[in-house]
Homo-oligomer: A and B are copies of this chain.
Amino acid sequence: MISLPDYNAMNDADFRQTVRSFVEENYPDIPRHALSRLHWEEVKPWYLILSEHGWICPTWPRENGGMGLNAGKHLILIEEFERYGCARVNDIGPVMLGPLLLKYGTEAQKAYFLPNILSGDHIWAQGYSEPGAGSDLAAVRCEAVLDGGEWVINGQKTWTTLGMDANWIFILVRTDKTVKKQAGISFLLVPMDAPGVTIRNILNLELEAEFCEVFFDDVRVPADHILGEVNQGWTAAKALLGHERVFIGAPRLSASAMSRLKRIARRAGVWEDPVFRDRYVALQCDVMDLTDLFETYVDKLRGGEDIGADVAMLKIFQSELYQRISDLMMEVAEEESGLRLPPEADRQLHAAATYLSARPTTIFGGSTEVMRNVLAKAVLDLPS
Protein backbone atom coordinates (compact mmCIF):
# COMPACT_ATOMS: atom_id res chain seq x y z
CA MET A 1 0.00 0.00 0.00
CA ILE A 2 1.16 3.50 -0.83
CA SER A 3 2.19 5.57 2.13
CA LEU A 4 0.58 9.00 1.97
CA PRO A 5 1.24 11.99 4.24
CA ASP A 6 -1.45 13.13 6.65
CA TYR A 7 -3.04 15.72 4.39
CA ASN A 8 -5.45 16.84 7.09
CA ALA A 9 -2.50 18.15 9.05
CA MET A 10 -1.47 20.48 6.24
CA ASN A 11 -2.83 24.00 6.13
CA ASP A 12 -5.43 24.62 3.46
CA ALA A 13 -3.30 26.76 1.20
CA ASP A 14 -0.48 24.22 1.14
CA PHE A 15 -2.87 21.39 0.45
CA ARG A 16 -4.49 23.36 -2.36
CA GLN A 17 -1.09 23.92 -3.91
CA THR A 18 -0.28 20.22 -3.52
CA VAL A 19 -3.45 19.25 -5.37
CA ARG A 20 -2.91 21.87 -8.06
CA SER A 21 0.61 20.66 -8.73
CA PHE A 22 -0.50 17.05 -8.70
CA VAL A 23 -3.13 17.70 -11.33
CA GLU A 24 -0.90 19.79 -13.54
CA GLU A 25 1.83 17.16 -13.44
CA ASN A 26 -0.29 14.08 -13.77
CA TYR A 27 -3.46 14.82 -15.78
CA PRO A 28 -3.27 12.70 -18.92
CA ASP A 29 -4.02 13.71 -22.50
CA ILE A 30 -7.78 13.34 -22.28
CA PRO A 31 -10.52 16.00 -22.52
CA ARG A 32 -10.83 18.72 -19.89
CA HIS A 33 -14.02 20.58 -18.98
CA ALA A 34 -16.20 17.96 -20.68
CA LEU A 35 -19.93 18.73 -20.43
CA SER A 36 -21.01 15.09 -20.54
CA ARG A 37 -19.52 12.03 -18.90
CA LEU A 38 -16.58 10.25 -20.52
CA HIS A 39 -16.67 6.50 -20.94
CA TRP A 40 -14.23 4.15 -19.27
CA GLU A 41 -12.00 3.71 -22.28
CA GLU A 42 -11.43 7.46 -22.39
CA VAL A 43 -11.12 8.16 -18.71
CA LYS A 44 -9.23 5.03 -17.73
CA PRO A 45 -5.73 6.62 -17.86
CA TRP A 46 -6.78 9.20 -15.28
CA TYR A 47 -8.34 6.56 -13.02
CA LEU A 48 -5.16 4.52 -13.13
CA ILE A 49 -2.93 7.51 -12.44
CA LEU A 50 -5.06 8.42 -9.42
CA SER A 51 -4.94 4.79 -8.39
CA GLU A 52 -1.15 4.60 -8.69
CA HIS A 53 -0.74 7.62 -6.44
CA GLY A 54 -3.27 6.48 -3.89
CA TRP A 55 -5.61 9.37 -4.81
CA ILE A 56 -8.54 7.45 -6.25
CA CYS A 57 -10.52 7.26 -2.99
CA PRO A 58 -10.09 10.63 -1.26
CA THR A 59 -12.49 10.01 1.62
CA TRP A 60 -11.58 6.42 2.50
CA PRO A 61 -9.41 6.01 5.60
CA ARG A 62 -5.70 5.83 4.88
CA GLU A 63 -5.54 2.33 6.37
CA ASN A 64 -7.97 1.18 3.70
CA GLY A 65 -5.99 2.73 0.86
CA GLY A 66 -7.73 6.10 0.77
CA MET A 67 -6.41 9.60 1.32
CA GLY A 68 -8.32 9.93 4.57
CA LEU A 69 -9.39 13.49 3.76
CA ASN A 70 -11.78 15.33 6.03
CA ALA A 71 -14.64 17.27 4.47
CA GLY A 72 -12.73 20.55 4.23
CA LYS A 73 -9.73 19.03 2.51
CA HIS A 74 -11.96 16.95 0.26
CA LEU A 75 -13.69 20.12 -0.86
CA ILE A 76 -10.37 21.70 -1.78
CA LEU A 77 -9.47 18.63 -3.81
CA ILE A 78 -12.80 18.77 -5.62
CA GLU A 79 -12.38 22.50 -6.27
CA GLU A 80 -8.94 22.06 -7.75
CA PHE A 81 -10.03 19.13 -9.91
CA GLU A 82 -12.93 21.26 -11.13
CA ARG A 83 -10.76 24.26 -11.75
CA TYR A 84 -8.47 22.24 -14.01
CA GLY A 85 -11.45 20.60 -15.66
CA CYS A 86 -10.47 17.04 -14.78
CA ALA A 87 -12.84 14.46 -16.22
CA ARG A 88 -15.02 12.66 -13.73
CA VAL A 89 -13.92 9.04 -13.46
CA ASN A 90 -16.25 6.07 -13.05
CA ASP A 91 -16.53 6.80 -9.37
CA ILE A 92 -19.44 4.72 -8.14
CA GLY A 93 -16.98 2.35 -6.45
CA PRO A 94 -14.85 5.02 -4.76
CA VAL A 95 -17.74 7.33 -3.85
CA MET A 96 -20.82 5.18 -3.30
CA LEU A 97 -19.96 1.56 -2.68
CA GLY A 98 -16.66 1.95 -0.85
CA PRO A 99 -18.11 3.88 2.09
CA LEU A 100 -21.03 1.45 2.28
CA LEU A 101 -18.64 -1.53 2.32
CA LEU A 102 -16.64 0.13 5.06
CA LYS A 103 -19.79 0.65 7.09
CA TYR A 104 -21.79 -2.50 6.41
CA GLY A 105 -19.40 -4.95 4.73
CA THR A 106 -17.96 -8.15 6.21
CA GLU A 107 -14.20 -8.41 6.63
CA ALA A 108 -14.10 -10.82 3.70
CA GLN A 109 -16.07 -8.39 1.50
CA LYS A 110 -13.79 -5.52 2.42
CA ALA A 111 -10.69 -7.59 1.81
CA TYR A 112 -11.88 -8.63 -1.63
CA PHE A 113 -13.73 -5.61 -3.01
CA LEU A 114 -11.87 -2.58 -1.68
CA PRO A 115 -8.50 -3.38 -3.34
CA ASN A 116 -10.25 -4.07 -6.62
CA ILE A 117 -11.88 -0.64 -6.52
CA LEU A 118 -8.56 0.97 -5.65
CA SER A 119 -6.81 -0.72 -8.54
CA GLY A 120 -9.54 -0.05 -11.08
CA ASP A 121 -10.09 -3.76 -11.69
CA HIS A 122 -13.66 -3.47 -10.50
CA ILE A 123 -15.71 -0.71 -12.05
CA TRP A 124 -19.06 -0.49 -10.31
CA ALA A 125 -22.47 0.59 -11.45
CA GLN A 126 -25.47 1.42 -9.32
CA GLY A 127 -28.73 -0.47 -9.82
CA TYR A 128 -31.46 1.25 -7.82
CA SER A 129 -34.13 2.56 -10.21
CA GLU A 130 -36.62 0.42 -12.08
CA PRO A 131 -39.22 1.36 -14.68
CA GLY A 132 -41.85 1.48 -11.93
CA ALA A 133 -39.58 2.70 -9.15
CA GLY A 134 -37.97 6.04 -9.86
CA SER A 135 -38.85 8.75 -7.39
CA ASP A 136 -40.54 6.01 -5.39
CA LEU A 137 -37.48 3.82 -4.93
CA ALA A 138 -39.11 1.66 -2.28
CA ALA A 139 -41.35 0.23 -5.00
CA VAL A 140 -38.55 -2.00 -6.41
CA ARG A 141 -39.81 -5.25 -7.88
CA CYS A 142 -36.61 -6.90 -9.09
CA GLU A 143 -36.49 -9.91 -6.81
CA ALA A 144 -34.01 -12.38 -5.39
CA VAL A 145 -34.68 -15.72 -3.70
CA LEU A 146 -32.20 -17.97 -1.94
CA ASP A 147 -31.80 -21.31 -3.66
CA GLY A 148 -29.06 -23.79 -2.76
CA GLY A 149 -26.81 -21.23 -1.17
CA GLU A 150 -27.23 -18.78 -4.03
CA TRP A 151 -29.36 -15.75 -4.70
CA VAL A 152 -31.41 -16.16 -7.85
CA ILE A 153 -32.19 -12.75 -9.30
CA ASN A 154 -34.96 -11.86 -11.74
CA GLY A 155 -36.05 -8.44 -12.85
CA GLN A 156 -34.80 -5.23 -14.32
CA LYS A 157 -32.94 -2.09 -13.40
CA THR A 158 -32.81 1.08 -15.42
CA TRP A 159 -31.13 4.51 -15.61
CA THR A 160 -27.88 2.81 -14.69
CA THR A 161 -25.31 5.49 -15.37
CA LEU A 162 -22.34 4.19 -17.36
CA GLY A 163 -23.54 0.65 -16.69
CA MET A 164 -22.02 -0.42 -19.98
CA ASP A 165 -18.58 0.43 -18.59
CA ALA A 166 -18.97 -1.55 -15.37
CA ASN A 167 -18.01 -5.10 -14.52
CA TRP A 168 -19.86 -5.11 -11.18
CA ILE A 169 -23.21 -3.71 -10.15
CA PHE A 170 -24.89 -3.34 -6.78
CA ILE A 171 -28.65 -3.61 -6.82
CA LEU A 172 -31.65 -3.25 -4.58
CA VAL A 173 -33.83 -6.35 -4.75
CA ARG A 174 -37.02 -7.44 -3.12
CA THR A 175 -36.38 -10.40 -0.85
CA ASP A 176 -39.64 -10.32 1.09
CA LYS A 177 -42.96 -9.42 -0.51
CA THR A 178 -45.01 -9.93 2.62
CA VAL A 179 -43.86 -6.86 4.54
CA LYS A 180 -44.27 -3.17 3.86
CA LYS A 181 -42.31 -1.74 0.97
CA GLN A 182 -39.08 -0.62 2.58
CA ALA A 183 -38.81 -3.61 4.91
CA GLY A 184 -38.34 -6.35 2.32
CA ILE A 185 -35.41 -4.97 0.36
CA SER A 186 -31.86 -6.32 0.23
CA PHE A 187 -28.62 -5.03 -1.26
CA LEU A 188 -26.78 -7.46 -3.57
CA LEU A 189 -23.41 -7.35 -5.31
CA VAL A 190 -23.45 -8.82 -8.80
CA PRO A 191 -20.74 -9.33 -11.43
CA MET A 192 -21.93 -8.01 -14.78
CA ASP A 193 -20.52 -11.09 -16.55
CA ALA A 194 -22.74 -13.47 -14.58
CA PRO A 195 -24.89 -15.60 -16.92
CA GLY A 196 -28.31 -14.02 -17.36
CA VAL A 197 -27.22 -10.39 -17.08
CA THR A 198 -27.88 -8.38 -20.22
CA ILE A 199 -27.80 -4.67 -20.81
CA ARG A 200 -29.42 -2.33 -23.27
CA ASN A 201 -28.07 1.15 -23.77
CA ILE A 202 -30.43 4.10 -23.58
CA LEU A 203 -29.65 7.17 -25.65
CA ASN A 204 -30.21 10.38 -23.78
CA LEU A 205 -31.38 13.69 -25.26
CA GLU A 206 -27.79 14.45 -26.18
CA LEU A 207 -27.94 11.21 -28.19
CA GLU A 208 -25.24 9.70 -26.04
CA ALA A 209 -25.36 6.30 -24.34
CA GLU A 210 -24.80 7.59 -20.83
CA PHE A 211 -27.06 5.10 -19.12
CA CYS A 212 -28.56 1.70 -19.72
CA GLU A 213 -31.11 -0.84 -18.67
CA VAL A 214 -29.86 -3.99 -16.96
CA PHE A 215 -31.89 -7.20 -17.13
CA PHE A 216 -31.54 -10.10 -14.72
CA ASP A 217 -32.76 -13.48 -15.92
CA ASP A 218 -32.17 -16.23 -13.35
CA VAL A 219 -28.88 -14.66 -12.44
CA ARG A 220 -27.15 -16.58 -9.62
CA VAL A 221 -24.68 -15.14 -7.14
CA PRO A 222 -23.30 -16.69 -3.95
CA ALA A 223 -25.29 -16.09 -0.76
CA ASP A 224 -22.49 -13.95 0.68
CA HIS A 225 -22.82 -11.38 -2.12
CA ILE A 226 -25.18 -9.42 0.07
CA LEU A 227 -24.25 -6.17 1.78
CA GLY A 228 -25.65 -5.98 5.29
CA GLU A 229 -28.44 -8.17 6.55
CA VAL A 230 -31.20 -9.73 4.49
CA ASN A 231 -34.15 -7.31 4.16
CA GLN A 232 -32.04 -4.45 5.55
CA GLY A 233 -30.95 -3.07 2.20
CA TRP A 234 -33.05 0.07 2.40
CA THR A 235 -30.94 1.47 5.21
CA ALA A 236 -27.73 1.10 3.23
CA ALA A 237 -29.31 2.51 0.06
CA LYS A 238 -30.44 5.63 1.88
CA ALA A 239 -27.14 6.13 3.70
CA LEU A 240 -25.84 8.93 1.51
CA LEU A 241 -23.02 10.51 3.40
CA GLY A 242 -23.38 14.03 4.74
CA HIS A 243 -20.88 15.67 2.49
CA GLU A 244 -22.26 14.07 -0.64
CA ARG A 245 -25.62 15.61 0.20
CA VAL A 246 -23.88 18.97 0.41
CA PHE A 247 -21.71 18.63 -2.69
CA ILE A 248 -24.60 17.65 -4.92
CA GLY A 249 -25.81 21.24 -4.41
CA ALA A 250 -22.45 22.88 -5.06
CA PRO A 251 -22.62 26.02 -7.19
CA ARG A 252 -19.94 24.82 -9.62
CA LEU A 253 -22.30 23.77 -12.44
CA SER A 254 -24.06 27.13 -12.36
CA ALA A 255 -20.85 29.09 -11.95
CA SER A 256 -19.22 27.48 -14.94
CA ALA A 257 -22.42 27.90 -16.96
CA MET A 258 -22.27 31.64 -16.23
CA SER A 259 -18.83 31.90 -17.78
CA ARG A 260 -20.14 30.13 -20.87
CA LEU A 261 -23.17 32.41 -20.94
CA LYS A 262 -20.84 35.37 -20.95
CA ARG A 263 -18.92 34.03 -23.92
CA ILE A 264 -22.12 33.24 -25.81
CA ALA A 265 -23.42 36.73 -25.09
CA ARG A 266 -20.23 38.30 -26.37
CA ARG A 267 -20.40 36.20 -29.51
CA ALA A 268 -24.02 37.25 -30.02
CA GLY A 269 -23.10 40.88 -29.48
CA VAL A 270 -25.42 41.40 -26.52
CA TRP A 271 -22.87 41.54 -23.71
CA GLU A 272 -23.19 45.33 -23.59
CA ASP A 273 -26.99 45.24 -23.97
CA PRO A 274 -28.56 46.62 -20.79
CA VAL A 275 -31.52 44.27 -21.11
CA PHE A 276 -29.25 41.26 -21.24
CA ARG A 277 -27.14 42.60 -18.39
CA ASP A 278 -30.14 43.05 -16.17
CA ARG A 279 -30.93 39.38 -16.49
CA TYR A 280 -27.30 38.34 -16.32
CA VAL A 281 -26.64 40.11 -13.04
CA ALA A 282 -29.80 38.65 -11.51
CA LEU A 283 -28.49 35.17 -12.32
CA GLN A 284 -25.04 36.13 -11.13
CA CYS A 285 -26.53 37.14 -7.79
CA ASP A 286 -28.28 33.80 -7.61
CA VAL A 287 -24.95 32.05 -8.11
CA MET A 288 -23.18 34.22 -5.53
CA ASP A 289 -25.93 33.84 -2.96
CA LEU A 290 -26.00 30.09 -3.55
CA THR A 291 -22.26 30.06 -3.02
CA ASP A 292 -22.69 31.81 0.32
CA LEU A 293 -25.37 29.33 1.34
CA PHE A 294 -23.26 26.41 0.17
CA GLU A 295 -20.38 27.68 2.29
CA THR A 296 -22.53 27.66 5.41
CA TYR A 297 -23.02 23.93 4.91
CA VAL A 298 -19.35 23.37 4.17
CA ASP A 299 -18.57 25.22 7.40
CA LYS A 300 -20.86 22.81 9.20
CA LEU A 301 -19.08 19.86 7.65
CA ARG A 302 -15.74 21.31 8.67
CA GLY A 303 -17.04 21.78 12.19
CA GLY A 304 -18.30 18.21 12.30
CA GLU A 305 -21.92 19.31 12.62
CA ASP A 306 -24.77 17.13 11.45
CA ILE A 307 -26.38 18.00 8.14
CA GLY A 308 -30.18 18.11 8.28
CA ALA A 309 -32.86 17.54 5.67
CA ASP A 310 -32.71 21.26 4.88
CA VAL A 311 -29.56 20.66 2.84
CA ALA A 312 -31.90 19.64 0.00
CA MET A 313 -32.41 23.39 -0.57
CA LEU A 314 -28.97 23.55 -2.15
CA LYS A 315 -29.67 20.94 -4.77
CA ILE A 316 -33.14 22.24 -5.57
CA PHE A 317 -31.92 25.78 -6.10
CA GLN A 318 -28.69 24.88 -7.87
CA SER A 319 -30.33 22.61 -10.41
CA GLU A 320 -33.13 25.05 -11.20
CA LEU A 321 -30.64 27.91 -11.42
CA TYR A 322 -28.48 25.91 -13.79
CA GLN A 323 -31.53 25.43 -15.97
CA ARG A 324 -32.47 29.10 -15.84
CA ILE A 325 -28.97 30.02 -16.95
CA SER A 326 -29.27 27.57 -19.81
CA ASP A 327 -32.65 29.08 -20.75
CA LEU A 328 -31.05 32.49 -21.15
CA MET A 329 -28.20 30.95 -23.11
CA MET A 330 -30.68 29.46 -25.55
CA GLU A 331 -32.37 32.80 -25.99
CA VAL A 332 -29.13 34.67 -26.49
CA ALA A 333 -27.73 32.10 -28.91
CA GLU A 334 -30.55 32.98 -31.34
CA GLU A 335 -30.58 30.67 -34.38
CA GLU A 336 -27.42 28.93 -33.17
CA SER A 337 -29.44 27.50 -30.30
CA GLY A 338 -30.66 24.89 -32.75
CA LEU A 339 -27.32 23.57 -33.91
CA ARG A 340 -26.41 19.97 -33.23
CA LEU A 341 -22.68 20.65 -33.09
CA PRO A 342 -20.89 23.45 -31.25
CA PRO A 343 -20.29 26.70 -33.13
CA GLU A 344 -16.62 26.90 -34.08
CA ALA A 345 -16.31 23.38 -32.65
CA ASP A 346 -16.14 25.00 -29.19
CA ARG A 347 -18.36 23.26 -26.66
CA GLN A 348 -18.28 26.36 -24.48
CA LEU A 349 -20.25 28.21 -27.14
CA HIS A 350 -22.88 25.50 -27.49
CA ALA A 351 -26.01 26.66 -25.71
CA ALA A 352 -27.88 23.47 -26.52
CA ALA A 353 -25.24 21.31 -24.85
CA THR A 354 -25.65 23.18 -21.58
CA TYR A 355 -29.42 23.24 -21.95
CA LEU A 356 -29.58 19.47 -22.39
CA SER A 357 -26.99 18.68 -19.75
CA ALA A 358 -29.03 20.77 -17.28
CA ARG A 359 -32.20 18.70 -17.77
CA PRO A 360 -31.31 15.63 -15.67
CA THR A 361 -30.13 17.67 -12.69
CA THR A 362 -33.68 18.30 -11.49
CA ILE A 363 -34.66 14.68 -12.07
CA PHE A 364 -31.83 12.45 -10.86
CA GLY A 365 -30.41 12.35 -7.36
CA GLY A 366 -33.87 13.08 -5.97
CA SER A 367 -36.29 14.95 -8.20
CA THR A 368 -37.05 18.53 -7.31
CA GLU A 369 -40.65 17.58 -6.64
CA VAL A 370 -39.79 14.81 -4.20
CA MET A 371 -37.21 16.98 -2.47
CA ARG A 372 -39.76 19.77 -2.06
CA ASN A 373 -42.19 17.30 -0.55
CA VAL A 374 -39.53 16.29 1.94
CA LEU A 375 -38.62 19.91 2.73
CA ALA A 376 -42.25 20.82 3.27
CA LYS A 377 -42.72 18.07 5.80
CA ALA A 378 -39.35 17.61 7.46
CA VAL A 379 -38.23 21.25 7.53
CA LEU A 380 -41.36 23.39 7.33
CA ASP A 381 -43.40 20.97 9.42
CA LEU A 382 -46.38 21.17 7.10
CA PRO A 383 -49.03 18.48 7.51
CA SER A 384 -49.52 15.43 5.28
Contacts and interface: CB of A to CB of B under 8 A. Distances in A.
Contacts of A274: 273-275
A99 to B, nearest CB: 41
Interface in A264-281: 273-275, 278
A273 B275 CA distance: 9
Contacts of A273: 274
Nearest to A277: B275
Q: How many copies does the complex hold?
A: 2
A91 to B, nearest CB: 40
6 contacts: A273-B274, A274-B274, A274-B275, A275-B275, A275-B278, A278-B278
Interface string A63-76: 00000000000000
Interface in A230-274: 273-274
A275 B280 CA distance: 12
Nearest to A278: B275
Contacts of A275: 274-275, 278
Contacts of A278: 275, 278
A271 to B, nearest CB: 14
A282 to B, nearest CB: 11
A172 to B, nearest CB: 28
Nearest to A273: B274
A275 B273 CA distance: 9
A274 B279 CA distance: 12
A301 B273 CA distance: 46
A375 B124 CA distance: 47
6 shortest interchain CB distances as A-B pairs: A275-B278, A274-B274, A274-B275, A275-B275, A278-B278, A273-B274
A334 B273 CA distance: 23
A273 B274 CA distance: 9
Interface string A364-380: 00000000000000000
A278 B270 CA distance: 14
A233 to B, nearest CB: 32
A275 B276 CA distance: 8
A273 B277 CA distance: 13
A275 B274 CA distance: 6
A254 to B, nearest CB: 23
A38 B119 CA distance: 82
A195 to B, nearest CB: 42
Interface string A310-348: 000000000000000000000000000000000000000
A14 to B, nearest CB: 46
A228 B259 CA distance: 69
